[in-house]
Amino acid sequence: MSSEPLKTVLPQESLPLTGIRVVELCNVAAGPFCAMLLADMGADLIKVENPDGGDTLRSWPPLTDGYSENFASLNRNKRSVTLNLKLPTDVELFKQLVQDADVLIENNRPGVMNRLGLGYASLSSINPKLIYCSISAYGQEGPRAKEGGFDLTIQAMSGLMSVTGEQGGAPVKCGVPVSDFTAGLYGAFSIAASLREVAQTGQGKQLDISMLGATLGIAALQTSEFFGGGYDPVKLGSAHPRNAPYRVFRAKDDYFGMAAGNNALWRSVCETINRKDLLDDDRFTNPTNRARNQDDLLIILEQAFAHENAAVWLERFNLAGVPCAPINSYSQILSDPQVDYMNWVQPIDLPNGVQTQTFGSPVRIDSKTLNIRRRPPALGEHNDEVLGALGALSALGALTKKVS
């Protein structure tokens, strides 16, 4: 892919959060993802890292000439400074950074920021307009607040694993770290909403975003099933508890996904497989009946699908207007013409001079893709630029010289 700027990108001055300064004190996924979403929208993002290695994601493979591409995927459009918050001088520097910021994002365990003298009460006293967003496993208060958590443990705790996988199979997690990234999404959404109110009132906010709450928040299908029916949802593999056909099917050579989520689409399925008799079958007359009898339906449909390859059925269902898709690998979907048209895969330079690719922001504004304005930073790369502007380089002393 060419390294030339994309012609359809949105210029910096048109980005919604241009002029907003965000300070990030986060590690690994949920917090850095939240911060990157704001940075993609134009915010000036200053990432504060410990000088001893920085964000632990920096050590995660794949490493390209020593630089983590995993880190790069969550830390574009940011500047990095290093501060040791166990040192009083660096705590004061951090306060100076926050004094002129609009937003602080942190994902330490509850209580850590207070022990450092950097809790909401302390920082809001020097910056009353500050939006202080804390992301944690279980929230800042409550009986589990002090418990740690990672994506795996939250997927287990939240009930997500109880509905993931095949019936009778061992518990499995979603392949994507959904608890991390939903927490980051809720955080970014809440910050963006709060910025509007703070602009009107001048009064900052303390936001408490938990991975547990975020994972439950996107489980409306399952929680409503429990509240409405009084029973626990169960694993259904790729099937849907309330609709059918709506799952993965096996064809002659491979699997494919097909979702006929209403009666009109079901009629198109029956016509496509030349089984109009199924329209009069009492088991399949509406989505509820089809879902209740979807094991029988699976057998009937896969008997028909066994006569042709998956690509043939995908072509036929697409022509009939029935939503369907191949089971893509990431190499396949990242080279898909729709992804290419949207300019979602963009070139990105690493601090070591190596050019690679990354998946940029999926959001488009006025038919324009959000550009990657700044490559991911080296550890402490912007100490001079950011801390020097505060007149603080002398306070860093030898430590600043070491990491700059």
Amino acid at 396: L
Number of neighbours of residue 257 by Cβ within 10 angstroms: 17
d(CA 284, CA 223): 26
Nearest C-alpha neighbor of 60 from the set 48, 68, 50, 52: 68
**Residue among 96, 157, 106 at smallest CA distance from 131:** 106
CB 133 within 8 A of CB 193: no
> For residue 195, what are the β-bridge partners?
none
Closest CA to 96 of 400, 387, 393: 387
Q: Is 179 helix (H, G, I), strand (E, B) or coil?
A: helix
Annotated catalytic residues are 180
DSSP state, 242?
S
Give the pair of three-digit tokens for residue 42: 């134009």
Q: Strands 246-250 and 67-68: what pairing?
A: unpaired
Q: Residue 293: CB partners within 8 Å, gap ≥ 6?
A: 244, 283, 284
Q: Are 191 and 103 in contact (CB under 8 A)?
A: yes
Residue with tokens 């937003």: 103
The answer to whether 385 and 79 have CB atoms below 8 angstroms apart is yes
Query: What does the alpha-carbon distance between residue 376 and residue 380 come to, in Å, rounded to a whole number?
Result: 11
Closest CA to 380 of 394, 400, 398: 400
